[in-house]
Structure 1
Amino acid sequence: MRSQKILGSLEWSFNRSVFKSIGYSDEDLKRPVIGIANSWNELVPGHFNLRQVGESVKKGIHMAGGTAVEFGLIAACDGTAQGHKGMHYILPSRDMIANDIEIMVEAHQLDAIVMLGSCDKIVPAMLMAAARLDIPAIILPGGPMLGGEVFDGRKSDLTTMSESLDMLKAGKITEDVCHRLENTWGPTCGSCSFLGTANTMCSLSEAIGMTLPNGALTPAVYSERLRLGESTGFAIMNMVKNNVTARDIITIDAIKNAIRVLMAIGGSTNAVPHLSALAHELYISAETMMDLYEELSDSTPQIVKVNPAAKFDMEDFHRAGGIPQVMREISGLLEKGALTVTGQSVGENLAAMNLLYQPNRDIIKLLETPFAPQGGIAILKGNIAPKRGVTKPAAILPEMRHFTGKAVCFDSEDAAEEAILAGHIKPGDVLVIRYESPKGGPGMREMFKAMKYLYGMGLASNTAIITDGRFSGTNNGCFVGHISPEAAEGGPIAALRDGDVITIDIPNKTIHAHLTDEEIAQRLQQWQAPKRKFTKGILGIYSQLASSAHEGAVLK
């Protein structure tokens, strides 16, 4: 065991004495030392229950003969950070968290690691750290919250709060309605109750095999969440015993399974750079990943529709069978030989699966009768985005999937929001929001408020947004994000001008400005790189080292 190299002999008595100063015994230090990287805090609803979940994990580890050692991680809330300076920090936090886990594991030579996290950047960071460290590792999310009071035909959630504020500004509802929603949309802790980036990434961790079956979507307040903690403790000890490490599980086949599930559930577009960042840890090229997204999107039907694409929330999705039921339905498309943290293969897990509730075919369709014949995410390419852009057909009305309009260009999200609220945006406009990329932002902010403002102003069904930034997993409307190369690196999006005609053709996977290659090249010759917005701190570092979105926005 790794830990015994620094604890198991007389020459390392210094290290043993450090552990003993905390209260560990000789017997404790003879056992496998299992780290618990816990991102619990009192700021993020999705992480508020992780202290209790962590205690359950410790219980399982101790019962199985290990010694659990817990340490904390940062975890910021995308929701709280929306629309202000804080959003610059959210994507960089992913790489910081992965680095923190690596540092703690290697500095203390831990034998294995259980990682507890629920939200948007935390789970991808944990996947990246696991692949990088290649020791026995498991991820256990905290689970989604329950849905709130019904508003506008469905159970409310955090995005309902945002939309209601726009409706208030438009005079469609009263201030009392907004105040009531403020107190009722989030009745429990847990990750947000829709299929945004948080629940998408938890689902993909389960699809990859790094989370126990049903570990992604069992609600935060269900007692089953605590039993999953105990089971995770036993599972990590079995991995140590059998010398199963993260890279035995996180393989190209496992990533293919994750992409299949992503397409089948119509998950968040943010999963694309996160999976690409994970692939980077395995030395899989960005181009290989882009080819996989395109290929598997074309051949994977979308069989799930939940909020924000339907009225059903994550508790409904869980009760319909959750990720195990989705994987069972698309099992013919999966790499069933891929190993998982259960010690069994994907195929063996599915064969042993027992449903706790009756399937709901309004939520999870049969493969033969899908909601859509292709996946819920599409990769677009064209003279604006030669290295690709990402969109979400599952969140776009069919009549909006081929859209032609005139560009209205903004060099920041803030400028676009001001224009929307001032009434300067008209039906038929294509908002071009650039310099919100990994380097240019920095931090690749989400165009969350811009999309929600369009919705509140009644423009969501007749305008479009294209950006080198990102979108929230809850956004809907015609949008293309992650445009690469980014404007800050002289990508073609930097050459666009007000009035340029742009066509977004999702069925044919293209995004095209009605400009010749010569016109774009001529404009780019006159382009000058903007000054970096931040030169110190993590944003200064990130703006220097971050790669473009198609490479996963990893630090290079």
Structure 2
Amino acid sequence: MTTDKRRQFSSQVVDGISKAPGRAMLRAVGFSDEDFKKPQIGIASTWSNLTPCNMHIDGLAREASRGADEAGGKGVIFNTITVSDGIANGTEGMKYSLVSREVIADSIETAAGCEGFDGLVAIGGCDKNMPGCIIGLARLNRPSVFVYGGTILPGKNHTDIISVFEAVGAHARGTMTLKEVKDVEDTAIPGPGSCGGMYTANTMASAIEALGMSLPGSSAQNAVSDSKMADCRAASAAVLDLLERDIKPRDIMTREAFDNAITVVIALGGSTNAVLHLLAMAHACGVELALEDFTEIGKRVPLLADLRPSGRFMMSELVEIGGIQPLMKMLLDAGLLHGGCMTVTGKTLAENLAKVAPYPDGQEIIRPLSNPIKKDSHLRILYGNLAPTGSVAKITGKEGTKFTGTARVFHSEEEALDRILDGAVVAGDVLVIRYEGPKGGPGMREMLSPTSAITGKGLGKEVALITDGRFSGGSHGFVVGHITPEAAEGGPIALVESGDKITIDADENLITLHVDEEEMDRRRAAWVPMPPRYSRGVLAKYAHTVSSASLGAVTDKF
């Protein structure tokens, strides 16, 4: 491809006297005459000092910009936002978390669309950064590579952020002193990087690598490492190569590529948030993807990774044995991945994996296909009279596959958490937390504080929790989220009363409210919608535009 063709967008400020004002603006930020002849590579940074997940990304962005310059382009760094789920969980602030995915996507699209970058590198660290970046890149459809900021190292005594949440429950149970809780708090987060288990950040990084949008190995690197710095430089060089080859994000993110991403998420025991985010990413690509596809793929893909939250190991330990590349090679050889999918290397997935060595002998993190932790998916899409348009459960089988209990209804996360911590919640309860959906919350908060408190209280196998909200990747136990239609839209979850019987059946993929239709009709007739919780600002706008969780909770499905 000629240089002029490579400058398809940035040439708007290069040629002709009429472009002098644009050139003048760029000279002020450091452009030379020679720079105007180069493709401009936008470096979308999610740096912020408000979370360890992103505190180092400014350095990664500078490295990516240097990589672009060294490869013959001109790197231009710009920022978008991040929020911290770990800080916001359990508070009103968590309502902004899922909203941030849309803000990130919108801001990347806006900045790159306005400035006319020819290609992009996007660097994400915390949970919503990754799908937000990919959605933005998909909308723009200019040659792009995603870089994951990398995982955090373990804290003292093999702890992480979920250890802190669970310590709160353990203290309420009386099995941990305040001094012990403080020690966990002080030492669980030792430095930069995303939460250390197969929580949402590591789940989505792995999904994006399987999707073909990051370089091989990017999803399994420590945040502070030479390999991560090299990943940033190589990503920018890869964008320039993609420009030469005219390979764009939507050429890579095909339906088969999304199948690959789902397959890897299942094998790794990934977060329920992957369902929500992959649906949204597919929507941005114009790819048809539905809840049922997770069920169909899940029938043939086993759970192989013994990773937190339900397993023993952390992402940094998976990094030590080779990351996800050997797992993907294993899945490819078994016919479970589409090897012909194009990737940001300019090669197919099969070509990228051709020389990948297997995991070392004796490792216990990734099981062989012949000896899975679970023979099919832990991500269960449940339907029934309580979730007519679907819900999402994360059930590894360690807590069993079926639960029947008595409903205990709450209209917010805070109400439920108070009753868990004061001992009112007992074995056999099914906690129903409603009006926490995309519209009703608004923002679909994660129920990490309640699920961690349940685990910390020793009730993980004895209490279930269902919600029209969602869950952190750190949640585990008998939990069902994304119940649709949500309560704010008059879905059946709005009609549940304390004392009702509820059955969760992960074998038959059913969630059943044991109330007859005549009684449900009576309740439906008496139901009155809750007034909107916000009338102005971003949360009000989000509630007005957001779609069902079963459609990815996107805000541009018109």
Normalized against structure 1, the TM-score is what?
0.96
The answer to whether the aligner puts 1:60 opposite 2:67 as a matched pair is: yes
Q: Give me the whole-angstrom Cα distance separating, in 2, the residues matched to 1:467 and 1:163.
A: 20
Equivalent position to 1:251, from 250, 254, 257: 254
Cα contact 2:154–2:188 (8 A) shared by 1: yes
Deviation of 1:82 (Å): 0.8
Cα-to-partner distance string for 1:268-322 (whole Å, 9 max, x where unaligned):
001101011111113345xx41121110011111111111122211111112322
2:21 to 2, 14, 37: 14
Matched-pair contact (CA < 8 Å) for 1:320–1:360: no
Give the letter aligned to residue 39 of structure 2: P
Alignment of 1:431-446 (within 5 A): 431-446=431-446
Q: Which amino acid aligns with 1:463?
A: V
**1:464 and 2:464 correspond:** yes
- Deviation at residue 359 of structure 1 after TM alignment: 5.6
Whole-angstrom distance in 1 between the partners of 2:241 and 2:111: 22
Return the letter of the residue paired with 2:244: K
SS of equivalent residue, structure 1 residue 364: coil
The aligned counterpart of 2:450 is 450
Cα shift at 1:354? 5.0
Distance in 2 between residues matched to 1:130 and 1:271, nearest whole Å: 18
Q: Are 2:387 and 2:492, in contact at CA under 8 Å, matched by a contact in 1? A: yes
Alpha-carbon separation, structure 2, partners of 1:421 and 1:7: 63
Corresponding position of 1:235? 238
Where do 1:262-301 residues align within 5 Å? 262-285=265-288, 288-301=289-302
Tell me which moved more, 447-456 or 533-542: 447-456
Q: Does 1:189 align with 2:192?
A: yes
Q: How does 1:107-506 map to 2 (within 5 A)?
A: 107-150=114-157, 155-285=158-288, 288-331=289-332, 332-353=335-356, 358=360, 361-394=363-396, 396-399=397-400, 401-506=401-506
Measured after TM superposition, the shift of residue 451 of structure 1 is: 1.0
Deviations along 1:429-455, one digit per CA (max 9) or x if unpaired, are: 111110000000000001111111212
Query: Contact 1:319–1:359 at 8 Å: present in 2 too?
Result: no
Aligned partners of 1:493, 1:24: CA distance in 2, in Å? Answer: 57
Closer/same/farther in 2, CA of residues 359 and 375 from structure 1, 3 Å limit: farther
Is the 1:114–1:138 Cα contact (8 Å) retained in structure 2?
yes
| Residue in structure 1 matched with residue 82 of structure 2 by the alignment | 75
Q: Check whether the contact 1:208–1:255 (CA below 8 A) recurs between aligned residues.
A: yes
Structure 1 Cα separation of the partners of residues 463 and 175 of structure 2: 21
The answer (yes or no) to whether the contact 2:254–2:287 under 8 Å persists in 1 is: no
**What letter is aligned with 1:248?**
D
Distance 1:369 1:463, change over 3 A: same
Instruction: Give the aligned partner of residue 40 of structure 2.
Output: 33
SS of residue matched to 1:293: helix
**Does the CA contact (< 8 Å) of 1:320 and 1:359 recur in 2?**
no
- Calculate the TM-score normalised by the size of structure 2: 0.96
How many Å apart are 1:128 and its aligned residue? 0.7
Quick check: 1:46–1:191 contact (8 Å CA) kept in 2? yes
Q: Distance in 1 between matches of 2:175 and 2:302?
A: 37
Change (3 A) 1:47 1:526: same
Q: In structure 2, how many angstroms separate the alpha carbons of the residues matched to 1:512 and 1:179?
A: 41
Distance 1:393-1:104 versus aligned 2 partners, 3 A rule: same
Aligned residue pair count: 547
Letter in 2 for 1:298: K
Report if aligned partners of 1:262, 1:376 keep a CA contact under 8 Å in 2. Answer: no
Q: What code does the residue aligned with 1:386 have?
A: P
Contact 2:399-2:461 within 8 A present in 1 as well: no
Deviation at 1:26, TM superposition (A): 1.4
State the SS of the aligned residue for 1:330: helix
Identity level (%): 39
Deviation at 1:366, TM superposition (A): 1.7
Per-residue CA shift, 1:243-284, capped at 9, x if unaligned?
111101111111110011111111000110101111111334
After TM superposition, give the deviation of residue 512 of structure 1 in Å: 0.5
3-state DSSP of counterpart to 1:512: strand
8 Å CA contact 1:249–1:340 kept in 2: the answer is yes
Q: Out of 21-30 and 256-265, give the one that drifted further.
A: 21-30
1:209–1:250 CA contact under 8 A, matched in 2: yes
User: RMSD of the TM alignment (CA)?
Assistant: 1.4
